[in-house]
Amino acid sequence: MTGPDRNASAAAAAAQHIPVLLDEVIEALAPRDDAVYVDGTFGAGGYSRAILERAPRCRVVAIDRDPAAVARGAALAETHGRDRLTVLEGRFGAMDALLAAAGFAAVAGVALDLGVSSPQIDDPARGFSFRADGPLDMRMGRDGTSAADLVNTLPEDELAEIIREYGEERFARRVARAIATARRSQPIARTGELAAIVRGAIPAASAAASGGIDPATRTFQALRIAVNDELGELGRGLAAAERVLAPGGRLAVVSFHSLEDRHVKNFLRERSDAAPRGSRHLPPQAAGRAARAPSFRLLGRKPVTPGETELRRNPRARSARLRAAERTEAPAWPAPFQGVAA
């Protein structure tokens, strides 16, 4: 399939995908005409399309590290006009540099939909899913270290640490030991192989008590986060969004697991009027950080979660959390965000 036929197919596939908490994200961003918005995780283009439709004279800059997503963006740009939708290949953690290179300065809104996209997880060839067999890849950008590389080369202790830290898997040591044992016979190259190994390592009683969640879920999540440096990218992306948002601009972030949500919550709490103020009882460094002018104003103290209607339509939305904030006139904080304890 080539040319217009490929574009039409990509556009049709994207149109079938409705992103999680779409209405709530658009409400938080409040798109308006003659403003520029950033969709930092373009994926299937759902947020970009909704922003463009809500404000017919606004512009959207879409960013994605996945070449397949960039190709889908080209198809959407044909529909809405290339003067309204600009698609950039790259990481949202570098959005300030990407925007500057493309001729954009301050923007009115940034949307981030974290984690793996539906087109990625639904394609067995990408290696993200334990439900369909495929090559053990998990790279969002098709470059760098793959999940197979980690599984087959990392020392058992390092593998267990990744699974425990990024997957919050209580049986991380057992899973890592099972992987190390299996790879002695031959390299683990397929998602189906790895999923079977992990399932066999999780005690049956624990698997039965998981409420229907596949025992391989946490290990696959951990490897995906490690392969794509997702938490590091999130920290860089939040700080970049702080730098590019104009006063009054909105940041809307949808996360899907506790590690992501905690990172976003702590970033916004640290930089908002919800952060603790300076005190003579604080150490000098802590007092100095607390005394900085807030760069964000929270648009709600608690995360927004999907309603029953959305959960019936899309079970994948069950763990989604939306946090949103508005940029103040204060300068961006100079220190890079490294994450703070909950």
**Which of 172, 196, 228 is where one domain is finished?**
228
Residue 131 forms part of a structural domain? no
Residue 133 forms part of a structural domain? no
Asked if residue 107 and residue 26 are part of one domain, the reply reads yes
Distance in Å from the first CA to the final CA of the chain: 50
Asked if residue 237 and residue 111 are part of one domain, the reply reads yes
CATH number at residue 182: 1.10.150.170
pTM for the structure as a whole: 0.88
Contact 163, 194 (CB under 8 A): no
Asked if residue 234 and residue 171 are part of one domain, the reply reads no
Q: Which of 283, 243, 270 is nearest to 338 (CA)?
A: 270
Q: What is the pLDDT of residues 155-183, one digit of tens each?
A: 999 999 999 999 999 999 999 999 999 99
Contact 340, 268 (CB under 8 A): no
Residue 337 forms part of a structural domain? no
Residue 11 forms part of a structural domain? yes
Indicate the number of domains in the chain: 2
Residue 127 forms part of a structural domain? no
Range of the domain at 82: 3-119+230-327
CATH number at residue 50: 3.40.50.150
Sheet holding 36-39, edge to edge: 85-89, 59-64, 36-39, 107-113, 245-255, 321-327, 296-298
Asked if residue 286 and residue 305 are part of one domain, the reply reads yes
CA distance 111 to 170: 33
Residue 126 forms part of a structural domain? no
Asked if residue 113 and residue 241 are part of one domain, the reply reads yes
Q: In Å, how far are 12, 93, 112, 192, 330 from 233, measured between CA atoms?
A: 30, 5, 11, 28, 24
Residue 1 CB neighbour total at 10 angstroms: 9
CA atoms lying within 13 Å on the CB side of residue 246: 11
Q: What is the pLDDT of residues 221-267, one digit of tens each?
A: 999 999 999 999 999 999 999 999 999 999 999 999 999 999 999 99
Asked if residue 186 and residue 81 are part of one domain, the reply reads no
Asked if residue 86 and residue 45 are part of one domain, the reply reads yes
Residue 16 forms part of a structural domain? yes
Q: Which residues pair with 87 in a beta bridge?
A: 62
Asked if residue 145 and residue 101 are part of one domain, the reply reads no
Label residue 262 exposed, middle or buried (CB < 10 Å: 0-12, 13-18, 19+).
middle
Q: What is the pLDDT of residues 47-87, one digit of tens each?
A: 999 999 999 999 999 999 999 999 999 888 988 888 999 99
Asked if residue 263 and residue 214 are part of one domain, the reply reads no
Q: At 39, which helix (H) or strand (E)?
A: strand 36-39
Structure tokens at 305: 């979660």
**Which of 205, 228, 251 is where one domain is finished?**
228
Asked if residue 100 and residue 221 are part of one domain, the reply reads no
Asked if residue 224 and residue 234 are part of one domain, the reply reads no
**Which of 204, 228, 252 is where one domain is finished?**
228
Tell me the mean pLDDT in the region 27-41: 98
**Confidence category of residue 10, pLDDT binned at 50, 70, 90:** very low
Asked if residue 235 and residue 216 are part of one domain, the reply reads no
Q: What is the pLDDT of residues 305-316, one digit of tens each?
A: 999 999 988 888
